[in-house]
Amino acid sequence: MSVVILLMICSICVAGGFLVAYLWSVKKGQFDDLEASGFRILHDTKPVADKGDFQNSKIPK
């Protein structure tokens, strides 16, 4: 049954990956403004750059 342990470890790693992705997105400010991103998707033109990143950064890239 050691395969179950292997699977368990895999599943926790995958879930942990999602947790890290979530924490990263909170940190990047993706949850600061939930409405605008929904609108941006409707626009034909490509955005100039990552808006979320720009909203947060104090130093220009």
Partner 1 sequence: MAEVAVESHICYHCGTGTRRVVRYADKDFCCDGCKSVYALLEQNELCQYYDLNSHPAGSQAVGLDGALKEQSHKFAFLDNKEIAQQLYVFSSDSECHIEFYLPQVHCSSCVYLLENLHKLLPGVAMSALNFSKKTLKVSFSPAETSPRNIAQFLTGIGYEPYFSLSDLGDGNAQRGGLVKGASQQRLYRLGVAGFCFGNIMLLSFPEYFEWGRGDLDGLKSYFLVLNLILIVPVMLYSAQEFYSLAWGGLKKRYLTIDLPIVLAMLITLGRSLYEVANHLGPGYFDSLSGIVFFMLLGRFLQDKTHQKLSFDRDYTSYFPLSASVWKAGKTNSVPLTEIQKGDELVIHNQELIPVDARLAHGIAHIDYSFVTGESNPVSVQAGEWLYAGGRQLAGSIRVIAEKSMSQGYLVSLWNKSKQRSETSSGIENNYVHKASQWFTVALFTIAIGAAAYWWVVDASRVWKAVTSVLIVACPCALLLSVTFTHGHLLSVLAKNGLYVRGASVLESWRRVTVAIFDKTGTLTHSGRPKISFQGGELSSSVWDALGALALESSHPYARKVGHWLDRMRVPISDVVNVVGQGVEGAVDGVKYRLGNKRFVGLSAGMWVGMDGLVNHSGFAVGGLGESVSAATRNGGDLDVSGGSEIWCSVDGVVVGKFVLFSAYRDGLRGMLRRWRDDGKVVHVVSGDTASEKRVLQELLPIGSVLKFEQKPHQKQEIVKSLQGMGEVVMMVGDGLNDAGALMEADFGIAVSEDMGYFSPGCDAILMGDSLPKLHALWRLVQRGKRVIWWSFFVSILYNLVGLSFAVRGDLNPMIAAILMPASSISIVLFTWLATLYGSWREGLR
For 55, residues 6+ apart whose C-beta sits below 8 A from its C-beta are 29, 32, 33
Closest distance to partner 1 from the beta carbon of 33 (Å): 4
Which residue ranges make up the site for partner 1 (CB under 8 A)? 1, 4-5, 8, 11-12, 15-16, 18-19, 22-23, 26-27, 31-36, 38-40, 42-45, 47-49, 51, 54-55, 58-60
Alpha helices in 1-61, H assignment, sequence order: 2-27, 36-40, 51-56
CB of 14 to partner 1, least distance (A): 11
- 37 CB neighbour count, 10 Å cutoff: 11
**Smallest separation, CB 19 to partner 1 (Å):** 4
